[in-house]
Structure 1
Amino acid sequence: MIQVNNLKKSFNGEEILKGITATFEKGKTNMIIGASGSGKSVFLKNMLGLFVPDDGEIVYDGVALNEMEIEEKSKLRTEMGMLFQHSALFDSLNVEENIMFPLRMFNRMRKKERREKANEILERVNLVNLNKKMPSEISGGQQKRVALARAIANNPRFLFCDEPNSGLDPKTATVIDNLIQEITHERNITTVIISHDMNSVMEIGETIVFLKDGKLAWKGTNNEIFKTDNEAVTDFVYSSNLFKKVRIAQNEGF
């Protein structure tokens, strides 16, 4: 679980995060949504420890990040997995080598053990027999699955996903969504996802944090977002055809 308490962050005198308090639950897909400029990326970078908050705290399983010693922070980083928006695979490494990279960096496994682990994870993300392929030789959806496999290679307690469906067609995006949710449940990971894709929100948004102008404007689930009268939320999501259809169906009593 990650608890964020009264988080504030400013740059050059401009307050970007204005006292956000939120809880991201273990074993669930927790989503952060909001318009461009709402503070999502800055929020995520604070949780990752890339930025230092001006005020407030971020608590990982009961331990505040700002109270951790250097060794504790280093250990925490090894327990984080990151799925980047554009996959961020190493072009010069093949699929197997990409997945083995964090195992080599943060684990004392022998090379044979690393390869066995990589193959095990490849099977989990339904990418068998692609080990020796280069990233340029596989599709965007396959690249995303390789990136997810790399993110979970070290069995992280916390998984962060930045726009995991960016650039994917709707069918492939659904595959990635379901895979992230399944792995979250199987491994009891605290998963935090930044997304602008309302289909993803409806599909796997077990908890949703909606930011507007650096503040927490709403929180709830993918079921509750259909029913909310929060104007900021409805303004943000109403352009989604899926949202329109569900609202119409609810109003007609289906």
Structure 2
Amino acid sequence: MIEVKDLKKSFGDTQILKGITTTFNKGKTNLVIGQSGSGKTVFLKCLLGLFEYESGSISYEGKNFSKLSRTEKTNLRSEMGMVFQGSALFDSMTIAENVMFPLRMFTKQSKSEMEDRVDEVLKRVNLADAHKKMPSEASGGMQKRVAIARAIVNRPKYLFCDEPNSGLDPKTAIVIDNLIQEITDEFDITTVVNTHDMNSVMEIGEKIVFLKNGLLEWEGSSETIFRTENEAVTNFVYSSELFRKVRKMYLEESS
């Protein structure tokens, strides 16, 4: 579980996060949504420990991050997996070497142990025969799956994904959504996903946090988002005619 209390973050005189309080539960896919400039990227980087915040707290299983020693923070970061927006694979490394990278950084496993773990996670993301390929030889969807394999190779307790469907066609995006959901369930991970993809919200949004202008405007699930009367949420979610029709059908069926 990740608990966030009254989190505030500024850059100079500009306050980006204005006091966010929420909880992300273990074994759930938690989605953070909002328009560009809402603060969701800064929020994610605070959760990862990449940005220091001036007030508030972030606790992992009851441990306040800001009060941990340097060694404790390093140990906690080793329990985090990250899927970057552009996959962020190393071009000069094979797919297997990319996936092995966190094991080299954070563990003292033997080469054979690392190779066995790489084999295991690549099979899990349906890339059992991709070890020797270079990232340039992989499609966008394959690169995302490699990024997910790398993120989970060290058996993290926490998985963070920044726009994991960015640049993908709708069919491949659904594959990635399903994979994130399955891995979260299988390994009982606390997963936090930054996204603007409303299909992701509908498919895997067990908890949804909507940010607006650095504030938590609304939170709920993919089911309750259909019923909310919050104008900011409805303007964001139902900006397309398709989702307006979906909402209308849902409300008619529920009445």
- What SS is found at the alignment partner of 1:179? helix
Instruction: Give the % identical residues.
Output: 64
Question: Is residue 64 of structure 2 the alignment partner of residue 48 of structure 1?
Answer: no
Equivalent residue, structure 2, for 1:86? 86
Q: How far is the alpha carbon of 1:219 from its aligned partner?
A: 0.2
Would the aligned equivalents of 2:9 and 2:15 in 1 still touch at CA under 8 Å? yes
The question of whether the paired residues in 1 share the 8 Å contact of 2:34 and 2:212 is answered with yes
CA drift of 1:14 comes to 1.2
Q: Tell me what 1:16 maps to.
A: 16
TM-score of the pair, normalised by structure 2 = 0.97
- Paired with 1:237 and 1:251, the residues of 2 have a C-alpha distance of 15
Q: 2:139 aligns to what? A: 139
Question: In 2, are the aligned partners of 1:226 and 1:243 still within 8 Å (CA)?
Answer: no
> Is residue 198–residue 240 contact of structure 1 (8 Å, CA) maintained in 2?
no
Match of 1:253, SS state, is helix
Partners of 1:93 and 1:130 lie apart in 2 by 12
Structure 1 residues 242, 186: CA separation in 2 closer, same or farther (over 3 Å shift)? Answer: farther
Q: In the alignment, residue 73 of structure 1 is paired with which amino acid? A: K
Distance, in Å, in 1 between the alignment partners of 2:158 and 2:251 is 39
Q: Which region of structure 1 is more displaced relative to structure 2, 184-193 or 242-251? A: 242-251
Structure 2 residues without counterparts, runs of 5 or longer: none
Q: Which residue of 1 aligns with 2:168?
A: 168
1:2 matches 2:15: no
SS at match of 1:208: strand
Do the aligned partners of 1:9 and 1:54 also contact (CA within 8 Å) in 2?
yes
TM-fit CA distance, 1:252: 3.6
Q: Give the Cα separation in 2 of the matches to 1:139 and 1:74.
A: 33
- TM-score normalized by structure 1? 0.98
Distance 2:165 2:240 in 1: 16
Q: CA deviation at 1:51?
A: 1.2
Shift, 1:248, TM fit: 2.1
Worse-superposed segment, 191-200 or 43-52: 43-52
1:173-198 CA-partner distances (Å, limit 9, x unpaired) = 00000000100011010000000000
Counterpart in the other structure of 1:232: 232
Q: Any gaps of 5 or more consecutive residues in structure 1?
A: none
Distance 1:130 1:57 in 2: 41
Distance 1:28 1:251, change over 3 A: closer
Shift of 1:240: 3.3
State the partner residue of 1:222. Answer: 222
SS of residue in 1 equivalent to 2:253: coil
RMSD between aligned alpha carbons? 1.0
